[in-house]
Structure 1
Amino acid sequence: MAELAQYLTLGLAGETFGISIRNVREILDMRPIARLPHAPDFMLGMIDVRGSGYPILDLRLKLDLPAVTATEATRIIILDVPIGDRVVGVGFVADCVYEVTGIEESSLEQVPDVGGKWKSDYIAGIGRKGDRFVIIFDLSKLMASAKLPEHELAVESSRAA
């Protein structure tokens, strides 16, 4: 039997993306975000979650999509992201969150080679859920290009067992 991996599916600009459920700490409603001076455009600022500060990134801006105003469906996804040899807590803003779904690991397709360079290095693969494609994020590569200053990253995560 094929190995099913669990992904949190989310919406951005009408497309469906997936993040391995292993990296998801929690999902929050949109809330005020404290701005940080001179931060990159895609870094909205910081929020406090039960006494810990998390940098919040706008996934739309990170992926060079147009910014939009938050709606009732907008969510902040708090993630444990591997950066180098450690795990860092980071929040991503998404247009909406759909569900946790299983996708067969063996069915993941590679990013299409279209004979030119395009920003696809953050994609781990492309899965299918029904008639929809689900673009699976490679969080390490997505964050590798974020270049956040060390002091703005949340303290290393220590998941409770």
Structure 2
Amino acid sequence: MAESTQYLTLGLDGETFGISIRNVREILDMRPICRLPHAPAFLLGMIDVRGSGYPIVDLRLKLDLPSAPATDATRIIILDVAFENRIVGVGFVADCVYEVTDIDDRTMEAVPDVGGRWKSDYIAGIGRKGEEFVIIFDLIRLMAHEGMPSGMPSAAAAPAAAAAA
């Protein structure tokens, strides 16, 4: 039997990216975001989700992709991510969310070191779904990169799967 991992697939600037489903808490429609003074451009601000505040990161800006206005398909993905020896909650803005899909771990390819439109230091590998590629995020490296806020709130009531990740 093939070893596979489930990923939430999302769209950014015409590319398909994947986030391990173990980290996904929920997916929200786009909503107003409260700006934070002196925050880096990719940190859009904070939102409230059932009484808990979550910092919101624009993945396009984080990956040095061009900014784009929100559409009806734009989503905020609330994640539980390991950050500085704890699990924290953070939201990522994506152009759209496609589906949860299985990717065969044996087909995962290393990140090509030839440049490109996205920052490859945030990428864990390249998976395949049929004939299409899925760029898998390395959330720890994405979150630990310079400019991410160090005082992010701890995730409240993190799912057991996310806590084990």
Q: TM-score, normalised by structure 1?
A: 0.93
Partners of 1:68 and 1:114 in 2: how far apart?
A: 26
SS at match of 1:40: coil
Distance change in 2, residues 1:146/1:73 (3 Å): farther
Aligned position for 2:131: 131
Asked whether the 8 Å contact 1:70–1:95 carries over to 2, the reply is yes
Question: How far 1:158 moved relative to its partner?
Answer: 3.1
C-alpha contact 2:47 2:55 (8 A) present in aligned 1: yes
Q: Which segment is superposed worse, 142-151 or 54-63?
A: 142-151
The alignment-based identity, stated in percent, is 74
Instruction: Name structure 1 gaps, 5 residues minimum.
Output: none
What is the aligned partner in structure 1 of residue 41 from structure 2? 41
Q: 1:124: Cα distance to partner?
A: 0.6
- 1:20 equivalenced with 2:23 (yes/no): no
Question: 1:154: which partner in 2?
Answer: 153
CA distance in 2, matches of 1:150, 1:90: 12
Match of 1:99 in 2: 99
Question: 1:29 is matched with which residue?
Answer: 29
Counterpart position of 1:145: 145
> Would you say 1:73 and 2:93 are equivalent positions?
no
Aligned length: 159
Given that residues 4 and 103 in structure 2 are in contact (C-alpha distance below 8 angstroms), is that contact kept between their aligned partners in structure 1? yes
Deviations 1:107-130 (A, max 9, x none): 1000113389x8311111100112
Q: Which runs of 5+ in 2 are unaligned?
A: 161-165
TM-score by length of 2: 0.91
- Does the aligned pair in 2 maintain the 1:11–1:98 contact within 8 Å? yes
Cα distance, 1:106 vs. partner? 1.4
